[in-house]
Amino acid sequence: MDRHTRAPQQPHPARRWLAPGLAVLLAAGCASVAPAPSADPGHAVAIALLEQGQARQAAQQLEALAATARNGQRHALLADAAFAWREAGDEARARSLLAQVEARRVGGASRARLALLRAELALADGQVPVPLDGDPALLPTGQQARWQLAQGAALEAAGDAIGAAAARARADAGLQGQAREDNRRAIERLLSGLDDATLGARAAALPAGEPLYNFTARALLRRGLPLPRPFDRDPAWNFDDRPPAAADGYRPPRRLAVLLPLSGPLSTAAASVRDGLLAGYYGETRQRPEIRFYDTAGTPAGALAAYARATAEQADFVIGPLSREEVGAVFGQASAGVPTLALNRGNVPPPPGHATFSLAPEEDGVAAADYLVAREHRRVLVIAANDENGQRAAEAFARRLAERGGEVAATVRVGEQPGDVSAQLGQAAAAGADAVFLAMRGPQARALVPQLALAGLGVKTRVATSQLTSGTGRAEEDAVLDGTVYPTEAWPVRGAAQLPSAQRAAELVPTARGPAARLFAFGYDAWRISAYLERLATRADGELRGATGTLRLDGFGAVLRQPAWATFSGGTPVPLRD
């Protein structure tokens, strides 16, 4: 441990977007809550069985009770029996009992379950559900999420995009894993259809604590628009243990732990991140936290052990770990109590009070899609390398483009040696592609750009990922890339506080040279985020002009980065000024 001190028939869209969330929720069951009071104690006992996962036994008891009940109570029992039979997997029996229910004679939690059952059956039949009635707050958490998902599908079908997004936002807390990710993408898709003025007005009208606000505020940030108020934050975002804030918002932790793979296959990348972080740390003349580095060896087990050591040694803030697998391991443990700025996106969202900062390929894909949409390019040819980075960037680009109302005209995948893809490019040109997205290294792009020209696509706007600069450096070869725009660090364009110029840093520090400069800037920004986190988290205008770009913190713990842009001119990278 190093120590530094002081320093066929297509389903209806509503059904398609709802299905993944419902599948997970139905498989997982529902959390138990106290059942609503019932005139028949047996009814309450049966509902308790249902909420404990004993759906078949509950269904049998409810149906037996309904056989002897009268008036409205009979209809409530039948409705709940139908719901329980479907939970038990007997949909035919559920439909048979449902046909006997008069909805107007059912109230309370039974009415909400009845509305949910009817909506889910409609979706299963490929039909559009009507907006749900009843009070979902009377249902267990899992059923509440399902009710809101079904309501979202119904409202979207009725043309109410904001209402549908609000319902889905209320479902978010009850979802996990892929179901939550799919639901959040659906919300972004719904909000992307709003113009800037409408989105801003809708966000401003939402009361504090409304789940939709953080989604609308994030959409505003991605469009470069101001927020009407700060994000709604969980109480875990607490900075009381930090020293008092300076006038500019500088308020670092007291004991900072940095988790990096200082040994193993990722050690070279980690060295650039470490040196960039220390450049920012020692460049600060005000009070600095004690800082300690912990080696994760680049493995999930190593990250967990390093996090445990940092916690035991009283760290009050953690930067790292670096790989996706390590981040997933740390965020997946119940004991992740020390606030953390992870240096990647994991497979689980950051817990409240924790954040993620990333230079992942997906970030480039999202940035490129926003760049093109802002310039009215919405029908794009995607050409991506078959490697992991290329595919991740291309998938993120396609998702983001669709959310913003665009579409992929065609997708071409290429290997390390692209070969002749002129026929595919000609088809893309015929399909009306108005721009090109390249997710690949420089040598692959050099082989493809001439083919784009021959296919009639040479004059179309070309945007690439930052990976474009990998394998470049000879102007006579790279001249073919002239005009291709790609995201880059802000450091070479506008400089960075407390850092020398990018050119000077490359002369002084080996870990800031060439492609490593990006990771050096990343480490510098990680330090700055840790020191200005309160400002980012609590102010509507909280942002940092970092070395990698302009940084903001959304309401879900993700640091959003607006990169700088560059292009090739005469075979040489040239920054594009704002």
Q: What is the pLDDT of residues 307-318, one digit of tens each?
A: 999 999 999 999
In a domain, 229, yes or no: no
With cut-offs at 50, 70 and 90, classify the pLDDT of residue 236: very high
In a domain, residue 79? The reply is: yes
Query: For the chain, how many structural domains are there in total?
Result: 3
CA angle (315 as vertex; 245, 334 as ends), nearest 5: 110
How far apart, in whole angstroms, are the C-alpha atoms of residue 313 and residue 316? 9
Q: pLDDT of 160-214, one tens digit each?
A: 999 999 999 999 999 988 899 999 999 999 998 899 999 999 999 999 999 999 9
Q: 333 and 476: one domain? A: no
Residue 347 has a pLDDT of 86
Both 464 and 374 in a single domain? yes
Length of the chain: 578
pLDDT of the residue at 578: 61
Averaged pLDDT, 394-423:
92
Residues 56, 121: one domain?
yes
Is residue 28 pLDDT above 90, yes or no? no
pLDDT confidence tier of residue 38, bands split at 50, 70 and 90: low
182 and 300 share one domain: no
Q: What is the tens place of the pLDDT at every residue in 475-511?
A: 999 999 999 999 999 998 888 988 999 999 999 999 9
Same domain, 169 and 300: no
475 & 502 share domain: no
109-130: average pLDDT = 94
Q: Are residues 545 and 472 in the same domain?
A: no
Final residue of a structural domain among 135, 166, 192: 192
Same domain, yes or no: 485 and 501 = no
Given 128, 157, 192, the domain boundary residue is: 192
Question: What does the mean pLDDT of the chain come to?
Answer: 91
What per-residue confidence (pLDDT) applies to 403?
Answer: 84
Q: Choose the weakest-confidence range: 33-42, 53-62, 391-400, 403-412.
A: 33-42
What percentage of the chain exceeds 70 in pLDDT?
93
Answer yes or no: do 184 and 63 share one domain.
yes
pLDDT tens track for 318-338: 999 999 999 999 999 877 789
Does a structural domain hold residue 222? Answer: no
pLDDT value at 64 more than 50? yes
Q: What is the mean pLDDT of residues 9-34?
A: 44
107 and 181 in one domain?
Answer: yes
Residue range 565-575: mean pLDDT, rounded: 94
The confidence band for 13, taking pLDDT boundaries of 50, 70 and 90, is: very low
Compare 190 and 404 and report the one with higher pLDDT. 190
Percentage of residues in the chain having pLDDT higher than 90: 83
Asked if residue 547 lies in contact with residue 562, where contact means CB atoms within 8 angstroms, the answer is: no
203, part of any domain: no
CATH of the domain at 51: 1.25.40
What pLDDT is recorded for position 206? 97
Domain limits at 103?
Answer: 13-192
Q: What is the CATH number of the domain that holds 479?
A: 3.40.50.2300
Domain closes at, from 158, 192, 226: 192
Instruction: For 318-375, give the secondary structure using H, E and C.
Output: EECCCCHHHHHHHHHCCCCCCCEEECCCCCCCCCCCCEECCCCHHHHHHHHHHHHHHC
User: Would you state the pLDDT for residue 99?
Assistant: 95
**Residue 33 binned pLDDT confidence (cut-offs 50, 70, 90):** very low
Q: Within this chain, do residues 163 and 30 fall inside the same structural domain, yes or no? A: yes
**Res 8 pLDDT > 80:** no
Is 392 a member of any domain?
A: yes
Question: Does residue 394 fall inside a structural domain?
Answer: yes
Structure-token pair, residue 540: 């509507």
**What's the confidence (pLDDT) of residue 16?**
46
Return the minimum-mean-pLDDT range out of 12-26, 94-108, 207-221: 12-26
Domain co-membership, 56 together with 81: yes
pLDDT at 4 over 60: no
Q: What is the mean pLDDT of residues 60-74?
A: 91
5 pLDDT above the threshold of 60: no
Cβ contacts of 162-169, under 8 Å, gap ≥ 24? 162/190, 162/194, 162/202, 162/212, 164/190, 165/190, 165/191, 165/212, 165/215, 166/210, 166/211, 166/212, 169/210, 169/211, 169/212, 169/214, 169/215
Is 497 part of any domain? Answer: yes
Give which of 498, 361, 531, 528 is closest to 437, Cα–Cα. Answer: 361
pLDDT at position 114 over 50: yes
Distance CA 445, CA 433 (A): 18
Residue 93 lies in a domain: yes
